[in-house]
Amino acid sequence: MSKLKVLTLNVFFGETERLRRAHALVDRILSEAPDVAALQEVTQEVGVVVDSQLAREYHVLFEPDMGPLKPSGTCLLVARSRWPAAPALLHHHVLPGTDMDRTLFAASLTL
């Protein structure tokens, strides 16, 4: 039977040692080696570290509207060893009724 290892984490660190903690996050992801990781509240600075350090092992998908005007967002990591082709981003929705700019996005993976 095929297994799927998933990791999820809210990575907002505040300002305290943000870069050191971002590199520790990358180290933990590499040691856990999930097939898929979903990261929430990824800031621009942390996103750069995640992308630059994990892009060889993972497809790094950020929500489409993450940019300089949005302080944080979500990121999906998909193991290249299991899915060599990048998954398509299927859905991206801004959730109603919140002033915190909450979004949902999803990709489809074949098991």
Cβ partners under 8 Å of residue 3, min gap 6: none
Q: What is the pLDDT of residues 24-65, one digit of tens each?
A: 999 999 999 999 999 988 988 899 999 999 999 999 988 776
Q: Record the pTM.
A: 0.86
SS3 content of the chain, % helix, strand, coil (to 5): 25, 35, 45
State how far the alpha carbon of 64 is from the alpha carbons of 16, 31, 67, 95, 101, in Å: 27, 28, 8, 14, 13
Give 1's pLDDT tier (boundaries 50, 70, 90).
low
